Amino acid sequence: MNILVLGSGGREHALAWAILQNPKCDRLICAPGNAGMEALAECADLDICDGGQVVEFCSDNAIDFVVIGPEAPLAAGVADALRAAGIACFGPSAAAARLEASKAFTKEICAAVNAPTAGYAHFTDAQAARAYIREQGAPIVIKADGLAAGKGVIIAMTEAEAEAAIDLMFGGEFGAAGAEVVIEEFMEGEEASFFVLVDGNTCLAIGTAQDHKRVGDGDTGPNTGGMGAYSPAPVLTNAIAEAAMAQIIHPTMAEMARRGMPYQGVLYAGLMIKDGQARLVEYNARFGDPECQVLMLRLGGQALDLMLACAEGRLQKMAVNWAEDHALCVVMAAQGYPGAYAKGSEIKGLEACPEDSAHMVFHAGTKAQAGRVLANGGRVLGITARGATLAEAQARAYGMVDRIDWPDGFCRRDIGWRAL
Ligand code: AMP
Ligand code: GLY
């Protein structure tokens, strides 16, 4: 079978790596890809948000199955274009991807089925939003409605901070994403990520993870796309996962189907856990990055069978083959990230890192040039390892980090601390 993976991050390198573990894959193309994906597959220069171009490329290359990594092509309707052309694809329609693309939409679906989540109100007018904040008090959470590359959420500890956030959002800081604002109750607890495959009808939980969003050790400093992750997440016990399936995932997926927009793909639920109860923080319509790296290292080649079953409506007959293992990913980023950073520095020492079923260096922002690997983004490498315990996975991952010779990069030294 010929498979196309869309995206160029660490998440997509991990997906490509797992797909290649499965003998069903004859030919793999990644678009646009990065230096890591170039080392294991063909790469093609495509505008991955242009559904027409992706469909044409699939026809020209006899592609049987497309795996969509990031949210932008989902929101742009690339899955719809592929399905309309009769090409199997893993990823929700643009209508279903609104679970990530519109926070107000998700809150409304949750309210319709009584799924536990933070109380909220939705505003298109700054004055009414300010009045609501005064009524509710702080802490309170202000969110731009649309996609804002993970930066559209402000946790206001005081009313003054909340009102400043309102001014910022209605002042156009987030463009069209901020023209509508959701104001939410602040939820306390420990956050974890829950990954569920959905084929329109059946939901199958495939794993849990936790990521580290802050740039600095001890979870300090500004937010990032994620500086590391580990799986499983001990805080998300089986009992909590079962309750989250029954109270949150199943009802919202049934409501999506009832409204004529059945969800197909991976649903990533961010859960806030307190006193043994989970509440929904947000949905994402894709795998997390770097959570995908740890999930793929644990799932290996079965990930392709699961994604195919998801795309073909066969999930009911599938089960996940769990191993009693743990995986941990340390992200190496360019100095300066998440602020301004330079591109083009050389990364050495990669060949000194083992690459096998327990150790992988997943590439994110990298570029191959004349046999050298150059940094080409903010988050650059996801050093990922598996072990019988989380401590073993952590020791293996940092053992690889220490072999990498890249003075222009940095990483956190404490990934996994909460669970260890
Ligand atoms: P979101 O983009 O909705 O995931 O928000 C980004 C991050 O903000 C989440 O991962 C949480 O850490 C935090 N957050 C969002 N909503 C809330 C809430 N209602 N209460 C507490 N923290 C929240
Ligand atoms: N690591 C968080 C995300 O992918 O949204």
Q: Which of 211, 212, 294, 296 to mutate to test the pocket of ligand 2 (most atoms within 8 A of CB)?
A: 211
Q: 362 lies in which domain range?
A: 326-410
Q: Is residue 112 part of a domain?
A: no
Distance 287 CA to ligand 2 centre (A): 8
Q: Is residue 110 part of a domain?
A: no
User: What does residue 389 show for φ and ψ, rounded to 5 degrees?
Assistant: -130, 165
Q: Which of 194, 224, 284, 379 to mutate to test the pocket of ligand 2 (most atoms within 8 A of CB)?
A: 284
Please say which residue of 283, 317, 351 terminates a domain: 317
For residues 109-129, average pLDDT: 94
Q: Whose CA is nearest to atom 4 of ligand 2?
A: 288
Q: pTM score, two decimals? A: 0.95
For residue 156, which ligand has an atom nearest its CA? 1
Helix (H, G, I), strand (E, B) or coil at 55: helix
Residue-wise pLDDT for 208-265, tens only, equals 999 999 999 999 999 899 999 999 999 999 999 999 999 999 999 999 999 999 999 9
- Residue-averaged pLDDT of the chain: 95
Which ranges constitute the DSSP H helices of 268-364? 291-299, 302-311
pLDDT at 298 over 90: yes
Q: Is residue 185 part of a domain?
A: no
User: What does residue 411 show for φ and ψ, rounded to 5 degrees?
Assistant: -150, 165
Q: Do 281 and 226 belong to one domain?
A: yes
Q: Whose CA is nearest to atom 3 of ligand 1?
A: 282
Contact 116 CB / ligand 1 (< 6 Å): no
- CATH number for the domain harbouring residue 158: 3.30.1490.20
Q: Is residue 415 part of a domain?
A: no
Please say which residue of 290, 317, 344 terminates a domain: 317
Shortest CA distance to 269 belongs to which of 228, 223, 233? Answer: 233
CA dist 184 → 130, 154, 174 (Å): 13, 10, 18
Q: Do 290 and 353 belong to one domain?
A: no
Q: Do 59 and 78 belong to one domain?
A: yes
Q: How does residue 178 score in pLDDT terms, banded at 50, 70 and 90?
A: low
Query: What pLDDT sits at residue 322?
Result: 86
Q: Which of 266, 267, 282, 289 to mutate to test the pocket of ligand 2 (most atoms within 8 A of CB)?
A: 289
Query: What pLDDT sits at residue 149?
Result: 62
Query: What pLDDT sits at residue 170?
Result: 86
